[in-house]
Structure 1
Amino acid sequence: MTAGFEAIEYSSRDGIAVVRLNRPAQRNALDLTMRGEIGRAVEAIRDDASIRVLLLIGSGGSFCAGGDLKALTERERGALANRDRIRRLHLWFSELLNLEKPVVAAVDGPAFGAGLNLALAADFVLASPRARFCAVFARIGLVPDLGGFFLLPRIVGLQKARELIFTARVVGAEEAQRLGIVTEIHSEETLEPAAMAWCRRLLEAPTGTIGMAKNILNQSFNLDQRALAELEAYAQAVAMETADHRTRVGDFLAKKPLRYDWEALGRAEDGQ
């Protein structure tokens, strides 16, 4: 466990970092302290080559209920100060979204507002049956923040994003899975172990090349085919010169079992 955190718990072990939102009495609502601490943790993960996977999880049966409305209304800021506060959010959120390491989110209970978008920033979202997702902003007269305009339409499509944002309705785990938000559903008791099992499987992934692929994918809706082809060419040129690539190709040519075989790793986790 890393000292110096109040609103989150941050730990890393055997290549896996865990950021646990830890304000259960407030359903892990994002206050200024939590936002800053997530930013510090993401920077530490980004800069630590020994960390290969990040798990985002909440405590107390909630993922994140969104922004802390009580903290938001404690004092008048003015429009420009509010704008600056939201812009500062994106300093750490962009680091999380573009973190060149796999990110797994385990969602139990509410993921509302900014909490929804925090989950959407993950590469994989595992959820419990009691997980609930909501772009809640319209209920309190706000527009989506923390990357909602960028993330939601890319995941569910523009028309469905309009519906979810304009109605601010709650989406259960099964519907969220059909929409492409949720990857797998696990019971409340098995959600965290299942998420850790995903993280262990991802330890065998080629982290560097997955990171480059993630970087390009995050830009893929904004660039034309020619620009993406150039990024592809540069990234592949780098990947082909890595020791990791040579080792994995050598194993393949020697007919050795591949380290990163998703199905085989899953069977191994299940003891088959």
Structure 2
Amino acid sequence: MSAVYQRIRFGVEGGVATLALDNPAKRNAFDPAMRVEMAEVVRQVQSDPSIRALVLTGAGAHFCSGGDLANIASSGLDNGGWRQRLTSLHDWLKDLMLLDKPVVAAVDGAAYGAGFSLALAADFIVASTRARFAMSFIRMGVVPDCAAFYTLPRVVGVQRARELMLSGREVSAQEALRLGIATELVEPDALQARAQAIARSFVGASPVALSLIKRSLSLAASDLPSLLEQEANAQALAMGTPEHREAVRCFLEKKPLPFQWPQA
């Protein structure tokens, strides 16, 4: 199953959807057309129960270099117009971050500015050894967007997020792994296969449990009583699913469990 778009590539195979930013001439920079198409795809992934995981990547040698500066410079928007554009972006970005299915970002080359923020919206970042990340907004005299104020401190801590945002410096793939930004590093020619293998592993996992885990993690910064209440409600739902019963049966019969994390 596949569809043709102007600024992205999208297809579904074996329960795994793949969304690739497709503007390699500009290192897959965001422009309004790309945002509209991504919003459409995120809605489709959310609503299609046959899709069990999403791989987010970039065409060519880069993930995403951030906003399309030529488009930004020619937009002619005033303060109100920029706020409206960001608000419309937030609508689908929030849907992506709250997607009840695992999202694996496969990052090669540059993940700068909004591209770095987009990668952080995923549950896993598999990076190639030549990937590089930068909160480059300060270099352009603007502030981080695409939810980076929410995601980056939750990954690296407030002090390190402050340093990365205020310096705008580049982070190598190796440092990204040390900081916990990247889940793992692979050679460039193995990147897509590894991201797909991780995504395919979730086809065998309980969709209810995955949804509840992601929903509960989104509340991780809330107060303890609220989080414990969410935990109790989520576990009660998960215990009643056929996927849980099947996993228990396999365990007791000493058979392989339906969900297995793929070996690197």
1:5-24 equivalences in 2 (<5 Å): 5-24=5-24
Distance across 2 between alignment mates of 1:76 and 1:86: 15
Q: TM-score, normalising length from structure 1?
A: 0.94
Shift of 1:4: 4.5
Distance across 1 between alignment mates of 2:253 and 2:127: 39
Q: Which residue of 2 aligns with 1:128?
A: 128
Shift of 1:261: 3.2
C-alpha deviations, 1:61-94, integer Å up to 9, x for none? 0000001111111132111111111111110000
Q: Which residue of 1 aligns with 2:245?
A: 246
1:93-108 equivalences in 2 (<5 Å): 93-108=93-108
Q: What amino acid does structure 1 have at the position aligned with 2:151? A: L
Q: Which runs of 5+ in 1 are unaligned?
A: none
Q: Which residue of 1 aligns with 2:50?
A: 50
Report if aligned partners of 2:208, 2:241 keep a CA contact under 8 Å in 1: no
Partner SS, residue 3 of structure 1? strand
CA RMSD of aligned residues (A): 1.2
Shift of 1:260: 1.8
C-alpha deviations, 1:14-51, integer Å up to 9, x for none? 10000011000010000001111111111100000000
Partner SS, residue 203 of structure 1? helix
Distance across 2 between alignment mates of 1:186 and 1:167: 27
1:151-230 equivalences in 2 (<5 Å): 151-221=151-221, 223-230=222-229
Q: Which runs of 5+ in 2 are unaligned?
A: none
Distance across 2 between alignment mates of 1:139 and 1:112: 11
Shift of 1:207: 2.3
Distance across 2 between alignment mates of 1:249 and 1:60: 43
Distance across 1 between alignment mates of 2:162 and 2:190: 33
Shift of 1:111: 0.3
Q: What amino acid does structure 2 have at the position aligned with 1:69? A: L
- For structure 1, which segment, 204-213 or 80-89, has the greater mean C-alpha deviation from structure 2 after superposition? 204-213
Q: TM-score, normalising length from structure 2?
A: 0.97
Report if aligned partners of 1:102, 1:207 keep a CA contact under 8 Å in 2: no
Shift of 1:110: 0.3
Distance across 1 between alignment mates of 2:146 and 2:22: 19
Aligned length: 264
Distance across 2 between alignment mates of 1:75 and 1:33: 13
Q: What amino acid does structure 1 have at the position aligned with 2:260? A: D
Percentage of pairs with the same residue:
45
Distance across 2 between alignment mates of 1:193 and 1:254: 32
Report if aligned partners of 1:53, 1:102 keep a CA contact under 8 Å in 2: yes
Report if aligned partners of 2:138, 2:166 keep a CA contact under 8 Å in 1: yes
Distance across 2 between alignment mates of 1:109 and 1:71: 22
C-alpha deviations, 1:189-213, integer Å up to 9, x for none? 1111111111222222222211111
Q: Which residue of 2 aligns with 1:41?
A: 41
Shift of 1:112: 0.5
C-alpha deviations, 1:208-267, integer Å up to 9, x for none? 21111111101211x1000001111111111111111111112222222212232xx42x
Distance across 2 between alignment mates of 1:87 and 1:14: 34
Shift of 1:184: 1.0
Partner SS, residue 85 of structure 1? helix
Distance across 1 between alignment mates of 2:4 and 2:240: 40
Distance across 1 between alignment mates of 2:255 and 2:129: 39
Report if aligned partners of 1:110, 1:132 keep a CA contact under 8 Å in 2: yes
Q: Which residue of 1 aligns with 2:65?
A: 65
Partner SS, residue 125 of structure 1? strand
Partner SS, residue 73 of structure 1? helix
Q: Which residue of 2 aligns with 1:26?
A: 26
Q: What amino acid does structure 2 have at the position aligned with 1:245? A: H
Distance across 2 between alignment mates of 1:87 and 1:60: 29
